[in-house]
Amino acid sequence: MLAEFRKLKAPSQEGAFRLGARIGPSFRVAMSHEGHLTVAIEVLRTGDSSPRHFENLRYDPPRELSVEGDDGARREQLATLVCRAREEALQIAFVRIATTILGGTEHALSEKELEARLDEFVSLFRALNRPATETIQGVWGELAVILWSQDPATAIVAWHSNPRALHDFAAGDDGLEVKTCGTGLREHEIRLDQLLERKGGRTCLASIVVVEADDGLTIGDLRDAIAERVGGAPELLRRLEAIITRSLGITWREAATRRFDADRARKGLRFYAASDVPSVARSIPPAVSDVRFRVDLSNVARSPREALVAGGNSFFAAMIAV
């Protein structure tokens, strides 16, 4: 989309737009008279959406606009979402979020549906300026687990949308917590309650050795690879994008350039049943909470996949590749 935008020429008439390639049934990349990156949206005006103006973002409901092309000017009824930022990194983020939130549909949206998508879009765009809720390395590790899982669609659905969630992935009474570490000891900080198991459920710890490398993969690379594995399913990609964006917050620029060795990480991926993880006493007084400790798993035997999926456990069968 950004490459298509750069091919466009700014329209000569004030208030006009020049349209480019389609990114969905009713969405096209465009350029405003001021040279701003724009998504032009074809939608029947019903009065269900309102103008929204922010520092780097402007939305205007459907109205009749002048559209310039190689064959002259014409009038079209369009809504417009304009990125007023000149910074390339922010334009790339705008394109990524817009393509995921607005472009992932097989039918033209009503203005009411568009309003709901705009709420989602604005929420994510504003999250780019908020504090991160997870480290870049942590998000990378969780995405790697999704990419390498047996069923990435199930993994995305199970991925936490709340940073305060007990486990990174959960389904019913089953939970999977992902921990990353650099070179050296396979040492992680763990909350005691992350190792406790619910009756009828299982808890597992995934440990990944994550090392930066110039030829490694970024979070964006992992996102794209996951999208390919799930076949571009719109709802799954919207959930994936939302969790990534909110988790990274203001660190998204740094995350776009940090690369980690995926081959080494995959070879170093280990799964451990919670019951096998060394721990402090698991029975603590009711008045004591938020117990945290560091554990070295270097000499702890990993749990075989067969043991974790025993009894037909569909969650771990989906989360752990064969």
Give the separation between CA 30 and CA 312, rounded to whole angstroms: 51
Q: Does 293 share its domain with 184?
A: yes
Query: Could you report how far apart the first and last alpha carbons of the chain are, in Å?
Result: 37
Residues 241, 312 within the same domain: yes
Same domain, 177 and 92: no
Domain boundary among 108, 127, 146: 127
Residue 185's pLDDT band, with cuts at 50, 70 and 90, is confident
> 3-state DSSP call for residue 21?
strand
Both 58 and 196 in one domain: the answer is: no
DSSP string for 255-314: HTT--E-HHHHHHT-EEEEGGGS--S-S---TT----EEEEE-TTSPPPPHHHHTTTT-H
pLDDT band at 44 (very low <50, low <70, confident <90, very high): confident
Provide the pLDDT confidence category of residue 183 given band limits of 50, 70 and 90: confident
Q: Are 56 and 154 part of one and the same domain?
A: no
Asked if 151 and 27 sit in the same domain, the reply is no
Same domain, 64 and 180: no
Q: Following DSSP, what letter does each residue of 231-257 receive, concatenated?
A: TT-HHHHHHHHHHHHHHHGGGHHHHTT
Give the pLDDT band of residue 180 (cuts 50, 70, 90).
very high
The tokens for 145 are 């687990």
Which pairing describes strands 72-83 and 57-69: parallel, antiparallel, or unpaired?
antiparallel
- Domain around 249: 136-319
pLDDT at res. 186: 93
Task: State the CB neighbour count (10 A cutoff) for residue 262.
Answer: 20
What pLDDT does 104 receive? 67
Dihedral class, residue 196 (left if φ above 0, else alpha if ψ from -120 to 50, else beta): beta
pLDDT, tens digit (0-9, with 9 covering 90-100), for 222-259: 999 999 999 979 899 999 999 999 999 999 999 999 99
Verify that 199 and 301 share a domain, yes or no.
yes
Domain count, the chain: 2
Higher pLDDT, 23 or 277: 277
Mark whether 224 and 105 lie in a shared domain. Answer: no
pLDDT for 314 beyond 80: yes
Examine the domain organization and report whether 93 and 184 are in the same domain.
Answer: no
Whether residues 159 and 301 share a domain: the answer is: yes
- Angle at CA 80, nearest 5°, toward 230 and 7? 75
CA distances from 229 to 182, 192, 226, 233, 300 (A): 27, 34, 5, 9, 32
Same domain as 272, residue 173:
yes
Residue 105: pLDDT above 80? no
